[in-house]
Amino acid sequence: QVRLVESGGGLVQAGGSLRLSCAASTLGFGSYAMAWFRQAPGKEREYVAAISWKGGATYYADSVKGRFTISRDDTLATVALQMDSLNAEDTAVYFCAARFRATVASMVRDPDLNAWGQGTQVTVSS
């Protein structure tokens, strides 16, 4: 079972940037599809961005497209989420997710089958 540890959250002013990182403890990291989800207070968990395990194709929720960038480093077994032009609606706990040789669609459709990190808080002050 892959173990995921997120870091990089914090408090930032609206319009600012943060970079989240997720470190995975597993062999064969390159065979894992990776994604970021978030959950704001009182709201359901929602998909934010994902990167495929083969080819590194990237996908984004409409709410973050053009502002967030997901990337992976298979040598270091990490995935990052660069968040720019942050606004108050981005305030949430951000979770890293992984699934072995999965499609991004399946990670979003069946999130209970993903491996999850413990989450990192992102707070954007307006």
Residue of 54, 55, 65, 44 lying closest to 108 (CA atoms): 44
Predicted local confidence at residue 54, as pLDDT: 85
Question: What pLDDT does residue 105 have?
Answer: 94
Residue 119 has a pLDDT of 98
Distance CA 88, CA 97 (A): 23
**73-80: long-range contacts, CB 8 A cutoff, minimum separation 24:** 74/29, 74/30, 76/23, 77/23, 77/24, 77/25, 77/26, 77/29, 78/21, 78/22, 78/23, 78/24, 79/21, 79/22, 79/24, 79/34, 79/36, 79/51, 80/19, 80/20, 80/21, 80/22
55-100 pLDDT, tens per residue?
889 999 999 999 999 999 999 999 999 999 999 999 999 999 999 9
What distance in Å separates the CA atoms of residue 70 and residue 40, rounded to the nearest whole number?
20
